[in-house]
């Protein structure tokens, strides 16, 4: 098959990040304690329920994370009309001793 007839990769056409940048994990953001800018929030429905796709900028680089963490989802739903906003993910403990992620 010649180069001309070879099929293109989807990532070659739309970009490998689908416009949202590299995926980062909430726990990595919490561990680093890095401040970032929330630039967009999209609500999604998956197999296990609702979650947010959160577009961010960290040190000038686009990235995104997925979150169904209750505290994160509640706060981002409240401020979605005020974006972009500076934020930090923190790992916290409830009074019952359970660990959870929060956004401040």
Across the chain, what does the average pLDDT equal?
A: 86
Q: How much is the pLDDT for 13?
A: 60
Cis peptide before 14 (omega within 30 of 0): no
Please state the pTM of the whole predicted model.
0.77
Residues of the chain under the 70 pLDDT cut: 1-4, 9-19
Euclidean distance between CA atoms 101 and 104, whole angstroms = 10
């Amino acid at each position: 098959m010649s180069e001309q007839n070879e099929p293109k990769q989807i990532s070659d056409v739309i970009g490998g990040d689908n416009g949202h940048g590299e995926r980062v994990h909430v726990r990595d953001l919490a561990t680093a304690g890095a401040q970032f800018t929330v630039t967009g929030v999209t609500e999604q429905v998956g197999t296990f329920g609702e979650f947010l796709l959160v577009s961010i900028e960290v040190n000038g680089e686009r990235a995104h994370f997925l979150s169904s963490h209750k505290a994160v989802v509640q706060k981002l739903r409240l401020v979605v009309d005020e974006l972009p906003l500076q934020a930090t993910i923190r790992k916290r403990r409830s009074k019952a001793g359970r660990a959870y992620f929060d956004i401040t």
